[in-house]
Structure 1
Amino acid sequence: MDVSIIETSGLGDRSYLIAHHGIAVVVDPQRDIDRVLALAEKSQVRITHVLETHLHNDYVTGGLELSRTVGADYAVPAGDDVDYDRRAVTDGDIIDAGPIRLEVLYTPGHTHYHVSYVLRDDSGAIHGVFTGGSMLYGTTGRTDLIGPDDTKSLSHAQYHSVHKLADRLPPDTPIYPTHGFGSFCSATPSSGDSSTIAEQRSTNPALTQDEQSFVDELLAGLSAYPAYYAHMGVINREGPPPVDLTPPAQIDPAELRRRIDAGEWVVDLRTRTAFAAGHLPGTLGFELSGSFVSYFGWLYDWGAPITVIGDSAQQVADAKRELVRIGVDRLTGAATDHIDTLAGGSQLATYPVADFPSLAGELSSGLPSILDVRQTHEYDKEHIPGATNIPLHELPDRLDDVPSGPVWVHCGSGYRAAIATSMLDRAGISVVLIDDAFSTASEQGLTRSNDIDD
């Protein structure tokens, strides 16, 4: 029995292909199903079943298209109201894929109808459990995505679901979650790349705490999640259209300038330092790395046309792949010439890049304006005294709250700060990007923790 992981690091998720004796089952596939098809071809297996643990809130599923493409049965939890034919599965059902069998366990919490799948061979031996957004590595899936009126009851349900998994499965059972590798669907950060039921018994809060303590801690730890989540459930219920990964049309400098002047979303994918060193005025900088798609989706004006500037056709293709995973399909053009060529003779915009030791030098001679774009819970834990905290996702609506420039902008690593500085620069505010780890600020003695009165 072979379980292959299909990693989607930009969203912090995993999909799985289970293969045995020429047959394969896929769990929670992402929308770009070519990765799954390529793996199945390489493994010389035929996909007979596609399974969803839940209707996803952080990405557009590829399950419907994959099942139609290969002629596989498509299993979705019973109770979820969807606009397409599928096999509605519930507690105790058996997915019989010949040499591969999966038992459905009802594990609500992340959503009302969430299920997990216990992997067995044809002899009945257990080889693992696919837990979706239920039991994760050292944490659980968050419980506030359905709505505030359901959060508390789903948190209690999550506790019981994790106990159900732990009580029914052998200690050495491998766990295969969908979320928890940087996904905002995780209630708290997860730990590790693999785990078993036995390990979770000693590390997972749902199994080490009493029910009320677990619920109280979970509710207290929930932080903001990307705004694009509001669209994912709708798309996944209706049934996503087939994915389109064809390259967007190349556009010339004149058309690029027209789109910028019209206020359209023109996004520069280059590194944050390259953007700071020279960019077209009016563009936004979203470095294509790390959490690009999560923060893009969080800030994106849903449905607006997008033009991208990239170093290469491959970079543009990579960005399009990331964007279609969250249903952003209106990539209407791309420009990959050198930035000086794209400027068409116009002057490029620039701003300085600094680090926390440089900020320390500024603080020793005065009090510069500092903007902290981390989330509120990060700021509350530790921050630079005198810094204004505006979480990145709130910045577009709070430009009037930004202190007078030049504004030194920071986050935890430099990534969110780079997006913020591009937004402020576009708004005509003088900025300095702090491209540095926040731990350096602590080492420089610039910060104060929440247990010390400001």
Structure 2
Amino acid sequence: MKIEQIYTGCLAQGAYYITSAGEAAIIDPLRETQPYINRLEEDGVQLKYIFETHFHADFVSGHLDLSHKTGAPVVYGPTANPEFEAIIAKDEQVFELGNIKIKVLHTPGHTLESSCYLLIDENGIEKVLFSGDTLFLGDVGRPDLAQKGADMTQEELAGLLYDNLYNKILPLDDDITVYPAHGAGSACGKNMQKETIDTLGNQKRTNYALNQKDKQSFINEVTDGLLPPPAYFGMNVMMNKKGCSSFEEVLSQGLHAIPLEQFEEIAEASGALILDVRTSSKFASGFIPQSVNIGLDGDFAPWVGALVADVNQPILLVTENGNEEEAVTRLSRVGFDHILGFLEGGFEAWKKNGKETDFVNRISAQQFEAEIKEKEAKIIDVRKESEYHAEHIHEAYSKPLAYINEWIHKIKSVEHFYIHCGSGYRSMIAASILQARGYRNFSEIEGGFKAIASENIPKSDFVCQTKILNKLD
């Protein structure tokens, strides 16, 4: 028996590849299926099952493509209603795989079809729990993502999750290995650990959700502080439920090199978003006017999903040479299939041909310190609220990047302001959006709070600064 966790850091997502006696199963595969096909061929095994823990909201699964290419059926837990042929398993149904068995544990709460898969080894010992989004390391799945028509509140779903965790998961042996579907950084939970593998016994001891005194306490804790889910989540659920274009089709279209003149024409005629995926430093020094920067060197796909929201938005790419395929692949993982192509020659071709360019006024932390000593300054911190609460610049406004579409119109364009994040990645995203919408009277701070922290700039913690959180409004 072999179990391999295939972890994709930019999505904080874990897929699983299991083999036994010439047969294989894959749990929650990513959209691009060729790496799985390669593994099967290298190991000389036949794919027998494709297990899905639920209809994923944060990425598009490769379940259908993989099924079409291998003939292996897709398996869901009870109550799933996909719009394609699949095995809808019964609770506690057992699937044989070589010399091992995989048992379905229906654990609704995160969503109504959510299920875990319990692996029983050759000796009949329960060894591994593939916990999907039911149980994370340090957290549990958020109970507010059930599909429309579920007719249950998030509190009711949290109660359902409690029943299943406490009645089906906690009674399992402490030595069982837990393999979750996501880790720290995923929007499917709020308190995940950075580790991606643990024992169930350790989770029983350390996971706050598994240590509540009663059901109501559990409901209160898991629903407290939930941020609104990204807008693209619902669209990804429907793509996973209905089916969508193959990854190869999306890649073929997206890898279309578009000459400069044609690029301009397509941008104007299609209303496409010009998405520049270069680093923040390169973008700051020059870019195509009205383009938005979300760099490949960060949490690229989740930020595109959170800020662009509509997966049907046409996109034109500006990339470094050789990064085109990575950009298209990562966009496809979160359902952005309408990629019209990329600028041939990239930004350098644009600049060499004398086209109009723009830049962001990026300053160093040292210059920032010098400037704010001489005048009263308005400072916008676009980090998460939790980062802001830990430590922030005295009198800075907390305006997380995830909510820029809500707060951007409250900015007074005639009044200069400074903007920063943790390292410069998110603040450059914000800067590009601000400039695309006509705001230019600001300075973005290179290196973000990491650079600011070493300067002699007054800082505060959450306790003494709660009163100013909404001052910008």
2:33 matched residue in structure 1 = 33
Letter in 2 for 1:308: L
CA contact (8 A) 1:138 1:191 kept: no
Superposed CA RMSD:
2.2
Q: Indicate which of 259, 265, 270 corresponds to 1:252.
A: 259
1:434 aligns with 2:451: no
1:54 matched residue in structure 2 = 54
CA contact (8 A) 2:20 2:98 kept: no
> 221-230 or 52-61: which moved more?
221-230
Question: How big is the shift at 1:388?
Answer: 3.6
Question: How big is the shift at 1:129?
Answer: 0.8
> 286-295 or 406-415: which moved more?
406-415
Once residues 203 and 220 of structure 1 are traced to their aligned partners in structure 2, the CA distance between those partners, rounded to angstroms, is: 18
- In structure 2, do the counterparts of structure 1 residues 265 and 201 end up closer, same or farther at CA, with 3 Å as the change threshold? same
Question: How big is the shift at 1:358?
Answer: 3.5
Q: Indicate which of 402, 411, 433 corresponds to 1:402.
A: 411
Question: How big is the shift at 1:381?
Answer: 5.4
CA contact (8 A) 2:53 2:76 kept: yes
CA contact (8 A) 1:53 1:132 kept: yes
1:168 matched residue in structure 2 = 171
Q: How does 1:146-165 map to 2 (within 5 A)?
A: 146=146, 149-165=152-168
1:303 aligns with 2:312: yes
Letter in 2 for 1:280: I
CA contact (8 A) 1:188 1:222 kept: no
1:77 aligns with 2:77: yes
1:448 matched residue in structure 2 = 460
2:471 matched residue in structure 1 = none
CA contact (8 A) 1:310 1:335 kept: yes
1:2 matched residue in structure 2 = 2
Letter in 2 for 1:438: F
- State the Cα deviation string for residues 212-268 of structure 1 (Å, max 9, x = none): 333222211312332100201111221233222225221122222334455520111
Question: How big is the shift at 1:149?
Answer: 4.7
Letter in 2 for 1:156: G
Q: How does 1:132-147 map to 2 (within 5 A)?
A: 132-146=132-146
Once residues 437 and 90 of structure 1 are traced to their aligned partners in structure 2, the CA distance between those partners, rounded to angstroms, is: 51
CA contact (8 A) 1:131 1:177 kept: yes
Once residues 5 and 170 of structure 2 are traced to their aligned partners in structure 1, the CA distance between those partners, rounded to angstroms, is: 26
CA contact (8 A) 1:155 1:215 kept: yes
Question: How big is the shift at 1:317?
Answer: 0.4
> 156-165 or 71-80: which moved more?
156-165
- In structure 2, do the counterparts of structure 1 residues 291 and 338 end up closer, same or farther at CA, with 3 Å as the change threshold? closer
Question: How big is the shift at 1:35?
Answer: 1.9
1:324 matched residue in structure 2 = 332
1:275 matched residue in structure 2 = 283
Q: How does 1:13-24 map to 2 (within 5 A)?
A: 13-24=13-24
1:353 matched residue in structure 2 = 362
Once residues 119 and 228 of structure 2 are traced to their aligned partners in structure 1, the CA distance between those partners, rounded to angstroms, is: 34
Q: Which runs of 4+ in 1 moved over 6 A?
A: none
> 60-69 or 348-357: which moved more?
348-357
In structure 1, runs of 5+ residues without a counterpart are: none
For the residue of structure 1 that corresponds to 2:119, the secondary structure is strand
2:470 matched residue in structure 1 = none
- State the Cα deviation string for residues 370-424 of structure 1 (Å, max 9, x = none): 2222344554554434434433233235432124454321123322211110111
Q: Indicate which of 217, 220, 244 corresponds to 1:216.
A: 220
> 391-400 or 282-291: which moved more?
391-400
Once residues 233 and 448 of structure 1 are traced to their aligned partners in structure 2, the CA distance between those partners, rounded to angstroms, is: 41
> 102-111 or 166-175: which moved more?
166-175
2:244 matched residue in structure 1 = 240
For the residue of structure 2 that corresponds to 1:451, the secondary structure is helix
- Please report the TM-score for the alignment, with normalisation by the length of structure 1: 0.93
> 2-11 or 390-399: which moved more?
390-399
Question: How big is the shift at 1:68?
Answer: 2.2
For the residue of structure 1 that corresponds to 2:258, the secondary structure is coil
Question: How big is the shift at 1:38?
Answer: 1.8
Once residues 103 and 40 of structure 1 are traced to their aligned partners in structure 2, the CA distance between those partners, rounded to angstroms, is: 22
1:315 matched residue in structure 2 = 323
- In structure 2, do the counterparts of structure 1 residues 361 and 259 end up closer, same or farther at CA, with 3 Å as the change threshold? farther
Once residues 297 and 210 of structure 1 are traced to their aligned partners in structure 2, the CA distance between those partners, rounded to angstroms, is: 37
- In structure 2, do the counterparts of structure 1 residues 206 and 124 end up closer, same or farther at CA, with 3 Å as the change threshold? same
Question: How big is the shift at 1:357?
Answer: 4.2
CA contact (8 A) 1:226 1:295 kept: no
Once residues 396 and 37 of structure 1 are traced to their aligned partners in structure 2, the CA distance between those partners, rounded to angstroms, is: 41
- In structure 2, do the counterparts of structure 1 residues 164 and 67 end up closer, same or farther at CA, with 3 Å as the change threshold? farther
Letter in 2 for 1:175: V
- Please report the TM-score for the alignment, with normalisation by the length of structure 2: 0.89
Once residues 374 and 150 of structure 1 are traced to their aligned partners in structure 2, the CA distance between those partners, rounded to angstroms, is: 30
- State the Cα deviation string for residues 139-183 of structure 1 (Å, max 9, x = none): 111111127952111212223333335433221111111112321
For the residue of structure 2 that corresponds to 1:408, the secondary structure is strand
Question: How big is the shift at 1:115?
Answer: 0.9
Once residues 412 and 377 of structure 2 are traced to their aligned partners in structure 1, the CA distance between those partners, rounded to angstroms, is: 10
CA contact (8 A) 1:106 1:113 kept: yes
Question: How big is the shift at 1:441?
Answer: 4.2
1:103 matched residue in structure 2 = 103
CA contact (8 A) 1:107 1:116 kept: yes
CA contact (8 A) 1:383 1:449 kept: yes
CA contact (8 A) 1:310 1:336 kept: no
Letter in 2 for 1:297: G
- State the Cα deviation string for residues 75-120 of structure 1 (Å, max 9, x = none): 1122122211111113210012232310111112211121111111
Once residues 452 and 143 of structure 2 are traced to their aligned partners in structure 1, the CA distance between those partners, rounded to angstroms, is: 33
- The number of residue pairs the alignment matches comes to 453
CA contact (8 A) 1:13 1:182 kept: no
Once residues 385 and 188 of structure 2 are traced to their aligned partners in structure 1, the CA distance between those partners, rounded to angstroms, is: 18
1:200 aligns with 2:203: yes
- In structure 2, do the counterparts of structure 1 residues 35 and 181 end up closer, same or farther at CA, with 3 Å as the change threshold? farther
> 214-223 or 141-150: which moved more?
141-150
Once residues 331 and 393 of structure 1 are traced to their aligned partners in structure 2, the CA distance between those partners, rounded to angstroms, is: 23
Once residues 439 and 181 of structure 2 are traced to their aligned partners in structure 1, the CA distance between those partners, rounded to angstroms, is: 41
Once residues 446 and 256 of structure 1 are traced to their aligned partners in structure 2, the CA distance between those partners, rounded to angstroms, is: 47
Once residues 234 and 366 of structure 2 are traced to their aligned partners in structure 1, the CA distance between those partners, rounded to angstroms, is: 40
